[in-house]
Chain A
Amino acid sequence: GQNIDQPTEMTATEGAIVQINCTYQTSGFNGLFWYQQHAGEAPTFLSYNVLDGLEEKGRFSSFLSRSKGYSYLLLKELQMKDSASYLCAVRDNYGQNFVFGPGTRLSVLP
């Protein structure tokens, strides 16, 4: 089976840094993905980790520890437009299917 857990909601201030955690237990693993989703819109891809360590992409970074079943998404220099849900997803290595966590709703306050 597969189980992915994220905090339900987080709040941060414009210009600050926020870390969104994701823990997972899956029967297979072929990568961890982070997506951003604004209300009523399609999820859009942010980052991907398949090996342990940190991947940096502009204001967004993602970290993975496969032995701990743990990832985080780091958002720097927060902007109001970053208010959205952030979805953690694991891709299994059999069917190449994506299983999504419940998402973390981030509110950025002025």
Chain B
Amino acid sequence: DSGVTQTPKHLITATGQRVTLRCSPRSGDLSVYWYQQSLDQGLQFLIQYYNGEERAKGNILERFSAQQFPDLHSELNLSSLELGDSALYFCASSPRNTEAFFGQGTRLTVV
């Protein structure tokens, strides 16, 4: 158990809908990262937050947004969903200057 919690584990929704994925980082970790992994693909970096502030942005679509709250949990919002958004979405957290710890992921299926 990495200490990073993601909910829900699985999500099935229809095209055009909006979903929210939630991540609770390890206790004390200020950085939260979101990654997308499509079938048989690598981890694509979406966005990073550090202590509530956006720190870095990857190839995140305009339909996607995220935030980190004062209690350091983070949410990733995906809207106007398309079939191609079906993927595993991972959250990771880290303290400064050490490795990142990954949650178990949310498997999103858009039908």
Chain A interface (Cβ < 8 Å from any Cβ of B): 30-31, 33, 40-45, 48, 87, 89, 95-103
A-B contacts at CB below 8 angstroms, number: 58
Write out the residue numbers on chain B whose beta carbons fall within 8 Å of the beta carbon of A103: 42-43
Chief secondary structure at chain B's binding surface: strand
Q: Are A100 and B99 in contact (CB under 8 A)?
A: no
Q: A31-B97, A40-B88 are in contact. List 15 more A-B contacts (CB 8 A).
A: A30-B97, A33-B100, A41-B104, A42-B103, A43-B43, A45-B99, A87-B42, A87-B43, A95-B50, A96-B55, A97-B33, A98-B94, A98-B100, A101-B42, A103-B43
Chief secondary structure at chain A's binding surface: loop
Jot down 17 A-B pairs with beta carbons below 8 A, ordered by A: A30-B97, A31-B97, A40-B107, A41-B104, A41-B105, A43-B43, A43-B90, A89-B100, A95-B56, A96-B97, A97-B33, A97-B48, A97-B55, A97-B56, A98-B45, A98-B94, A99-B45
Q: Which chain A residue shows the least CB distance to B35?
A: A100
